[in-house]
Structure 1
Amino acid sequence: MRQFTEYARVMIYRFETDGSGIVVAEDKQPELEPFLGLHYPASDIPKQARQLYYKNWVRIIVNVNDAPVPIYPLNNPITHKNLDLSYATLRSVSPIHIEYLQNMGVSASLCTSLINDQKLWGLIVCHHYSPKFVPYELRQACELLGQFMSVELFRQYQKNWEAYQKKVKKIQQLFRQELSGHESDLINRIRTMIDSSGQYLLELVNAQGVVIGLQGELTEFGETLPKPDLHDLLSWLRSYYPEEIFYTDRLAEIYPPAQNYINKAAGLLAISIYLDQATYQIVWFRSEIIQTVTWGGNPNKPVVIDDNDQVRLSPRKSFEAWKETVSGHALGWNELEINAAIELRNTLMLAVLHFSHFAL
């Protein structure tokens, strides 16, 4: 990309689940400071900007210091509404983004979107330190490259999804084998299954511990919590998060007692079934991961107070590496793991209905 565009720096910027971003690849002129591995807060590319990147494969700023030119009239004389410039190549960009680039010393930029599964996965970001015009044909080549890379991202996603589907089917088969029959003692059958196949349940979502709660009876495998803590946690889940599926990688922030066992349950993924006033739950736990995150500047200062004492979004002025030790968090649950849990919930639902039928 840098060879045929001749920008000074080209990066691949990947969006995280919380909207923040990380530079995962970089090619640059030797004298430039590296940005590889730096994290950037979600406020650096707000939601509205990400929507525009999703709609447009390529966005270009030829000269950061150019003055924007107004459009007359402001409203479309036919519709009497503002002109929609979402797809206009010459559409000006946010003054905040311009100031942001100026603070970085960037004079020109070009961004190519990377789309995976109809979502904005990331950007190929090109920076130059003097004004730079890229002709239409070259912009089309950038768009084509972005599309090829997006196809490859989706192909890899499908490959990972197929591997997860195999895991899910294996677990489903084990469930059906262990839970088949006409007996109504579902709890004992679940215990037998956990004893023989608990490791598969952990591997399914990359967890360290799992507990199955059936009408107050608990069956555990791996690293879990003392029984009193488990009962309190499951009761809290039923009261405050009764959804069919719930997950968090920061349990202690919403459930303070979890701070006492954060080394075992910093993250939680739960599936629940509510049937005839009975509750069935499977809850997975992830332990705390303490890591040092290197940000491109202090991520905690996205706003300023202006002369009128109003709070406004402001681009950060310092881009020196700013390190933060992140604790109390677990590894985030990804989409494949969440979908695998949902599939397992559907299988458990069938088993519950089966045993409910024979219990009548």
Structure 2
Amino acid sequence: MTETSQKYPEKIDLENCAKEPIHIIGKTQDYGVVVVCDPLSLAITQAGANTGQFFSVSPQELVDQPLSKLLGEEQVSFFKDKLAGKDTSLPLEVKVSGKDFLLLAHFSGINLVLEFEPLEEVRDSFFFQKHLTRILNKLQASRSVSELCRSAAGLTKHIFGYDRVMIYKFDEEWNGEVVAERKEQDMESWLGLKYPATDIPSQSRALFLKHRVRMIADVHYQPQAIIPEISPLTQNPLDLSQVDLRAVSPIHIEYLVNMEVGASMTSAIVVNGKLWGLIACHHRKAKFISFYQRESARFLAEMFSTKIALQESTNFINNTEASEKIRRQLVEQLRENEDLFEGLIKSEVKFTDLIKCSGGALFLNGKWSSDGIVPEKEKLKSLLDNFIAKKEGNIFYTRRLSEVFPEAAAYKKMISGVLSLRLAENKYMLWFRPEEVENVSWGGDPSEKAFYDEEKKRLSPRKSFDKWSEQVTGISEPWKDYDLSTVKALGENISHVLLARQRNEIEALNEKLMEANQELELFSYGLSHDLRA
């Protein structure tokens, strides 16, 4: 069975929590209603359980009926024109049972999903234009990533009025940190607190790449089932990945309640296709944000993401340019010296000058040479033979060596970070970084895991978010993308030099063979002449 053909599990426990299929949860929030149609016939195939509340007609009465029963022929005709032109990106303002709604349409596989939310009074266009102009000006004026984060948090709070707005940044292990915050004065600050990766599991992070803005209008909402649960068109549960109204995992709802949050809105910060972080908004009571406001939040997040990408690209270029001169010098030394040790570690410029490190080691055809602070040769040999040489790929790096190679715990103060480059078989370059003891403040004890609640018959999240501090050891400064790029470029340069040497050696050998052949021919000629004589 494929993932989408599985039903949402009746029981979420410690075994399946990490794989909770929240995209097929089969329910919606109750601030609007979902209707699903066959896009060819526009016959209604599924409907939310709350159609009676909004449309004064039950879902059972709507299923198998034409969409015109709900919208009327004129509105359906207009909608068909939009659908034919594939113009469904913008919402339509429609009237159903005398009430005004905003209609959002999109496809989920072959299902046409229609989301209806009550149309609130739309402020004049100048109001939104003013906000967009403010967003552009404020973000353009920011000169660093930290300033950008503070500006984005301030703008979001000013525009949308949530009690707390945080810029939440992921690290390489998907732990999150609050790097900027704007809040009401009577609220405790969470600035600088970290949260474990399990607080936002992988399936939730994946959904943020598909649906960039997520609003929970009221954590105490009543989930509304989609009827029937299985799509008649696909015989699978409906994929709600891109549905604004998609219901929320009961585990996440309890998590928010434990944090004393009444409503939330979260916008994805996506940099170069990867989830960099989140703009997380919390309110202490229910708070509804209209579609047009959510679009402003989306625009702000996209502008913020673009500026972050630009800042990181500039930082990448500056760092790679700084190492370019060193790399060129290393390559020149290699061309001038037949011995790789001479060219890389015994000349004026050493390979350890290329990137920030405390030391490094070369292993070439069974011989070691090192520079700076490095473990003893026996420990280097064990690290290479029992760990690094077994890794796939030519580049390997970690900032937590003792966690992945326990033997390294004996020298973690000296070496906690390692970056290795395999040049060829029995040819390796290693860069090292020392341990950096760090005092980390968590939003609650990170070792406090979710637990199975017998009373609720499901998994429950941790309840405490009090500041919890610990001293973290065995971790080095992280390796940056420009470190990896620079090392990779050096590896390519060395490969070219080695290939050129091999080519020269082969050409020299060919010349010797040709000379030997000529001498053999002369010898044969002379021998033949002597025999005839």
Specify the alignment match of 2:96 in structure 1.
none
Counterpart in 1 of 2:215? 60
CA deviation after TM superposition for structure 1 residue 133, in Å: 0.9
Give CA-to-partner distance per residue, 1:256-283, whole Å, 9 cap, x none: 3322221221111101022xxx421110
Give the aligned partner of residue 252 of structure 2. Answer: 97
Q: How does 1:301-316 map to 2 (within 5 A)?
A: 301-307=448-454, 314-316=460-462
Question: Structure 1 residues 321-330 or 26-35, which shifts more?
Answer: 321-330
Question: Aligned with 2:324: secondary structure?
Answer: helix
Q: TM-score normalised to the size of structure 1?
A: 0.91
Which position in structure 2 is the counterpart of 1:341? 487
Name 2:407's counterpart in structure 1. Answer: 257
Gaps of 5+ in 1: none
2: distance between equivalents of 1:359 and 1:258?
41
CA shift, 1:56, in A, is 1.6
Return 162-171 or 343-352, whichever deviates more.
Answer: 162-171
* Pairing 1:26–2:181 present: yes
Map of 1:221 onto structure 2: 371
1:68-93, Cα deviation, whole Å (9 max, x unpaired)? 10001112211222211111111111
Q: What is the aligned length?
A: 350
Q: Residues of 1 paired with 2:505 and 2:459: CA distance?
A: 60
Choose which of 342, 345, 353 in structure 1 pairs with 2:499: 353
Say which of 195, 198, 210 aligns to 1:40.
Answer: 195
Q: Deviations over 1:26-49 (max 9, x none)?
A: 000000000000000011000011
1:54 Cα offset (Å)? 1.5
Amino acid at match of 2:321: K
Question: What pairs up with 1:118-157 in 2 under 5 angstroms?
Answer: 118-157=273-312
Write the letter of the residue equivalent to 2:344: I
Note the C-alpha offset of 1:318: 0.4
Structure 1 pair 356/242, CA: closer, same or farther in 2 (3 Å)? farther
Counterpart for residue 189 of structure 1: 343
User: How far apart, in 1, do the equivalents of 2:215 and 2:292 lie?
Assistant: 13
Deviation, structure 1 residue 203: 5.3
Counterpart of 1:266 (choices 416, 422, 426) is: 416
Q: Name the CA distance, whole Å, in 2 between partners of 1:35 and 1:297.
A: 11
How far apart are the structure 1 equivalents of 2:237 and 2:187? Answer: 41
1:350 to 1:248, Cα distance in 2 relative to 1, 3 A: same
Q: Give me the CA root mean square deviation.
A: 2.0
Query: Which residue matches 2:46?
Result: none
Higher alpha-carbon Rg: 2
Give the secondary-structure state (helix, strand or coil) at the position aligned to 1:153: helix
Q: Following the alignment from structure 1 to structure 2, what is the Cα–Cα distance between the partners of residues 111 and 2?
A: 12
Contact 2:451 2:462 in 1 (8 A): no
User: CA contact under 8 A between 2:439 and 2:472: conserved in structure 1?
Assistant: yes
Residue-by-residue CA offset, 1:280-326 (whole Å, 9 max, x unaligned): 11101110111111110111122314449x9x753210010111111
Q: The residue matched to 1:54 in structure 2 has which SS?
A: helix
Q: Is the 8 A contact 1:19 1:41 kept in 2?
A: yes
Deviation at 1:359, TM superposition (A): 5.0
Code of the residue aligned with 2:436 in structure 1: it is I
Q: Which of the pair has the greater relative contact order for Cα pairs under 8 Å at 6+ separation?
A: 1
Q: Is the 8 A contact 2:218 2:263 kept in 1?
A: yes
Whether the 8 Å CA contact 1:8–1:29 is kept in 2: the answer is yes
Counterpart residue identity of residue 164, structure 2 = R
Contact kept? 1:168, 1:343, Cα under 8 Å: no
CA change 1:174–1:353 in 2 (3 A) is same
SS in 1 for 2:257: helix
**2:388–2:420 CA contact under 8 A, matched in 1:** no
How high is the sequence identity, in percent, across the aligned residues?
35
Cross-structure match for 1:328: 474
